[in-house]
A and B are shown apart, each in its own frame.
Chain A
C-alpha cells in the first residue's frame, strides 16, 4: 500500500473536480424548485391581500346587519322592510338613479371624400363600448347606462349585424354613455394620456361632458333565473 502512484493521485484530483461539478449540477436542478417557490410567494401575497379585504368587507357587512336588526327591533318593522327593499333594488340596478357624473357620446367618425360625400371611417364596435365601460368602472362609476340601457351584472354588449345588442335590445350610433360618480375622476380616467379615449379618438368621434346632475333609468328587462339558485343555509 506504500506506493504513491502519480497516476492514482491524478485520478483522485480529477474525481474531486468531477464531484464539484456534480454538486454544481445538483444545485442547478434544485433551482427549478426555487422558481416555483417564487411564484408561490406571489400567489400567497395575492391571497393574503384578498383575504384581508374580504374580512374588512365582511366586518362592515356585520355592522350593517346589526343596524338593520336594531331598526327592526326599535323602529318600525314595516318601514325597515321597505327600506331594505329599496336599498337592495338600487344595488341590483332596478331603480332609476341620479347624481353628478359624465356623459360620453360615441359616434362614427365621418370623413369627406374627394367628391364631397360623407363617408364613415369606421363603425363603432361593441368592444369600444366595453372598454369605455370598464374604464368608467375602474374610475369608480356607481351607475352606468348606454342609450338608457342600465348596465347590470348580466348586461352583454355584443355586435349583431349593424347593431350593437345591449340587454338583448338593438342599438345603433350615436351611443350616449351616462355614468354617475365623481365627475372629475371619471373624466380624468377617460382622458388619460394614451388611455382608451385617446386611442379610440383616432377612429371614432368621442365627446366627454361632465354634468352636475344626470338621471339613469333602472333596468327594465326581464328577470328570470332558470339555473342559478340561492344556496340554502346548511341548517342541521
Chain B
C-alpha cells in the first residue's frame, strides 16, 4: 500500500516536471525550438506568438484612426450646418427658392450623400462551414465560397426588389461601386477589401426585399444549394452611412442645364 502511494507521487512529479521542462525551455530560448521538435506545426505558432504584439499595434492604430474619423465627421456636420443656413438664406431671396432646396435635398439622397435610416433587411453571407462534404471534395471548393459575382447578384436583386440604400460591411454601394475579387478578399467600392462574412444592409420594404430571394431564379437558391451561409433578417430600423469617397469627374461633363 505504501509503495503504491510512492509510485503515484513519483509519476505525478515526473509528468509535471516533463511538462514544465518544455514550457521553461520554450519561454527562455524560443529559438531552441524545443516544442517544434515535439510538434512540427508549432514553429509557425511561434511566429504567430510574435504577431500578437503586432496585433496590439494594429488595434491601437485602428483606434487612433477611428478617433480621427469621428472628429472629421464632427467637423463635417458643423460645416453642413453652416452650409444649411446659407442655403436657407439664399432660398429666401431666389425665385422658387424653397423648391430648389427641396430638389437639392432629394438629389443628395439620390447621390448617396446622406446618412439614411429606415426599415429593411440584414443579410449575412459566408463561406460554407468546414465539414465532411467540403473535406472530401476539394476540387469543388470554388462552389462553397462567396465570390465577387455572388455579391454582385445579391446587390442586383436587392435593387430589383426596391432597395433604396445598400451597404456591404458598412460601405455604401453607389452606381460606380465595383465588386471584384482580390484573392481571398473581395474589393467593394474603390480599394476597400473585405474578407467574409459579408454583412449586407438594405433599406426598403422588408417583406418585399426578403421575399425576392425566395424566387426560383434567385442567387439565394444557388448559394443555399451549395450550403453557404445566407441569413436574411427583417429589421424595423437599419442605418446606412453616406458614401465616403471622392466623386470626381475627370472625363464626364454635365451637358448645359437648360435652366
A sample of 10 inter-chain contacts (CB < 8 A) reads: A8-B6, A8-B7, A20-B21, A22-B19, A34-B48, A41-B54, A48-B62, A77-B89, A99-B251, A180-B252
Given contacts A69-B82, A152-B175, contact A37 B52 (CB under 8 A): yes
> Main secondary structure on chain A at its contact with chain B?
helix
CA distance A175 to B107 in the complex (A): 28
B138 within 8 A of A: no
Nearest chain A CB to B101's CB is how many angstroms away?
A: 8
Pairs A-B, 7 closest by C-beta atoms? A19-B18, A15-B14, A24-B38, A92-B110, A156-B160, A23-B22, A51-B65
Given contacts A44-B59, A49-B191, contact A20 B18 (CB under 8 A): yes
B136 within 8 A of A: no
A98 touches B14 (CB 8 A): no
B159 touches A12 (CB 8 A): no
With both beta carbons as reference points, the residue of chain A lying nearest to B38 in the complex is identified as A24
Question: Which residues of chain B come closer than 8 Å to A216, judged between CB atoms?
Answer: 252
When the two chains form the complex, which single residue of A18, A30, A73 contacts B15, counting CB atoms closer than 8 Å?
A18
CA distance A223 to B119 in the complex (A): 18
* Interface-side segment among A59-67, A105-113, A201-209: A59-67
Counted as pairs of residues, one from A and one from B, with CB atoms less than 8 Å apart, the total is 329
Binding site for B on A (CB under 8 A): 8, 11-24, 26-28, 30-31, 34, 37-55, 57-62, 65-66, 68-69, 72-73, 77-78, 80-82, 84-86, 88-101, 126-127, 130-131, 134-135, 137-138, 141-144, 151-159, 165, 180-182, 215-216, 219, 223, 225-231, 233
A19 touches B14 (CB 8 A): yes
Nearest chain B CB to A112's CB is how many angstroms away?
A: 31
Give the contact-size bracket for chain B: 35 or more
Question: Which residues of chain B come closer than 8 Å to A40, judged between CB atoms?
Answer: 55
Interface residues of B in 96-138 (CB under 8 A from A): 97, 100-101, 103-120
CA distance A211 to B52 in the complex (A): 54
When the two chains form the complex, which single residue of A23, A54, A66, A141 contacts B69, counting CB atoms closer than 8 Å?
A54
With both beta carbons as reference points, the residue of chain A lying nearest to B117 in the complex is identified as A231
B45 within 8 A of A: yes
A31 touches B42 (CB 8 A): yes
With both beta carbons as reference points, the residue of chain A lying nearest to B160 in the complex is identified as A156
B83 touches A65 (CB 8 A): yes
Given contacts A48-B65, A152-B110, contact A215 B255 (CB under 8 A): yes
When the two chains form the complex, which single residue of B166, B176, B246 contacts A57, counting CB atoms closer than 8 Å?
B246
Given contacts A34-B48, A54-B244, A66-B79, contact A92 B255 (CB under 8 A): no
